[in-house]
Amino acid sequence: MPELPEVEAAARNLRRWAVGRRIEAVRAGAGATRIFRPASARALSKLAGSRVREVKRRGKNLLLTLETPSGPLGLWSHLGMTGKWLLRAQDDPSPRFSRLALDLDDGTRLDYADLRLFGRVRLVAGARFDELPDLRALGPDPLEDGIDAPALHARFAKSKLPVKVALLDQRLLPGVGNIQASEALNRAGLDPRRPARSLSLAEVKTLARAILASIRFTLAKLAPRGRHGADGDIEYVEEPGTPNPFRVYGREGAICPRCRKGKIARIVQAARATFYCPRCQR
């Protein structure tokens, strides 16, 4: 479920699992050529023998810095819709849909698994992430840098899009996705159909607080999901059958958690589902 909170959880996992570890072997799974760029065997081999130095996150992007004999190497990972980094013992089989497997020097193996293949993993020469246009275009990260409400208000003033759709623009607020947009607008009491340009500065400030609250709320629900195995330090993040952790997303027909009177409605905006309370979101 990769929006900012899930990607942040992935970044924390990767730090615990891999920082300081040496990558001893690399294996490409089915579909690797689709997610891994460049997909050549030579590019893959650059990973072997490197050591993981640092894991950062910007929006939904994971930025790993590896140290190779010939200097720093960047590994940029975007989870798409269904991407996950998972840790296994090297003796255990890879998870389903593993596309890339990295054997670490402590007997564990990092697997990048991705059912739908919308995720991407790519090498960045010299770990110079700042030189990549797609990354440079991203606005400040809400969790790391906070939200500059006046700046967001100024950007909204130029947009003809409904505020819910405008929130998905990663150049404004990287990391906010379809779920967090619905969640934050409900918390803020704002109608997702309103033109972004119609929001007052006070409303944008309320929305900014709501976005941070929603991200932190979701992150707190994700954090306890890591587990220690009985006889080792392997931690699994997957938790099948967990209940819907969201307040309005996926809850069409439920009583609104904000006003406790309206019923959550589902509408479609820009071909994506939006959940909101028609009674209290104005």
Partner DNA sequence: ACCCGTGTTCGCTG
Partner DNA sequence: TCAGCGAACACGGG
Residues taking part in catalysis? 2-3, 60, 272
Interface with DNA, residue 149, by CB under 7 A: no
Among 116, 227, 228, 263, which residue sits at the site for DNA (rule: CB under 7 A)?
Answer: 116
Among 27, 49, 170, 216, which residue sits at the site for DNA (rule: CB under 7 A)?
Answer: 170
Q: DSSP 3-state assignment of 220?
A: helix
DSSP code for 242:
-
Interface with DNA, residue 253, by CB under 7 A: no
Among 60, 99, 153, 258, which residue sits at the site for DNA (rule: CB under 7 A)?
Answer: 60
Among 72, 82, 216, 219, which residue sits at the site for DNA (rule: CB under 7 A)?
Answer: 82
Asked whether the beta carbons of 153 and 104 are under 8 A apart, the reply is no
Interface with DNA, residue 267, by CB under 7 A: no
Residues 185-244 that bind DNA (CB under 7 A): none
Asked whether the beta carbons of 275 and 258 are under 8 A apart, the reply is no
Query: Exposed, middle or buried, 40 (CB in 10 Å: 0-12/13-18/19+)?
Result: exposed
Whichever of 2 and 192 has its CB closer to DNA, that residue is 2
Q: How far apart are CA 279 and CA 46, in angstroms?
A: 56
- What is the smallest separation between the CB atom of 268 and DNA, expressed in angstroms? 7
Q: How far apart are CA 251 and CA 248, in angstroms?
A: 5
Q: How far is CA 132 from CA 128, 137, 232, 278, in A?
A: 8, 9, 39, 41
Whichever of 171 and 260 has its CB closer to DNA, that residue is 171
Cα Rg, the chain, nearest whole Å: 20
Tokens encoding 147: 């939200």
Helix count (H) and strand count (E) of the chain? 9, 11
Interface with DNA, residue 49, by CB under 7 A: no
- What is the smallest separation between the CB atom of 205 and DNA, expressed in angstroms? 22
- What is the smallest separation between the CB atom of 245 and DNA, expressed in angstroms? 11
Among 71, 81, 151, 261, which residue sits at the site for DNA (rule: CB under 7 A)?
Answer: 81
Binding site for DNA (CB under 7 A): 1-3, 6, 31, 34, 59-60, 78, 80-82, 115-118, 134, 159-161, 165, 168, 170, 177-179, 270-273
